[in-house]
Structure 1
Amino acid sequence: MKPLKHLYLHFQDGQRLILRFPQQSDDPGSIARNLRKQLESPFLSIQVDGDLLLIPRESIKYLQVCPAPAALPEPTIIGAELVD
């Protein structure tokens, strides 16, 4: 069984959507390329319970993927911590 990942979508209007899905690939390079493609698209596309969910990028404040993929898109700042 592939490891599970969590995606937290934080929207401009303050709402949040939490998704759980299996790791999409074992190839770190493929993961980084696909992540970059998603970020360059005007819509975030996700298959959810057999349906295609298209979320306009301009409605998203930020995304959080947990745990982080092994390969990250360049440039990514590594080792940061959230501070209140």
Structure 2
Amino acid sequence: MKELKHLYVYFQDGQRLALRIPKQSEDLTLIARNLRKQLESPYLSIEVDGDLLMIPRESIKYLQICPMPDALPELTIEGAEVVD
């Protein structure tokens, strides 16, 4: 069984979409390349239950991936903590 990750999409209007996804690849270079492509695209494209879900980038406030991917996009700041 593939390792599962969770993707939380937080929208500008305050709604949240929670998805459970299998680990996409063991190849760290491929993971980093695909993350970069998704970040550069005007849509976040996700296959969900055999359907293609395309979410316009301008409707997204931020994304959260748990646990953190093994490969990170370039210029990612590491080791941060949320403080109140």
For this pair of structures, how many residues does the alignment match? 84
TM-score, L = length of structure 2: 0.97
Q: Secondary structure at the match of 1:38?
A: helix
Q: Secondary structure at the match of 2:14?
A: coil
Structure 1 distance, partners of 2:43, 2:56, is 4
Shift of residue 68 of structure 1?
A: 0.6
Shift of residue 28 of structure 1?
A: 1.1
Structure 2 distance, partners of 1:30, 1:5, is 17
8 Å contact from structure 1 (residues 28, 69) kept in 2: no
Structure 1 unmatched runs, 5+: none
Correspondences of 1:1-84 after superposition (within 5 Å): 1-84=1-84
* Structure 2 counterpart of 1:75, one-letter code: L
Structure 1 stretches of at least 4 aligned residues deviating more than 6 Å after TM superposition: none
TM-score, L = length of structure 1: 0.97
Aligned-pair Cα RMSD in Å: 0.6
Structure 2 unmatched runs, 5+: none
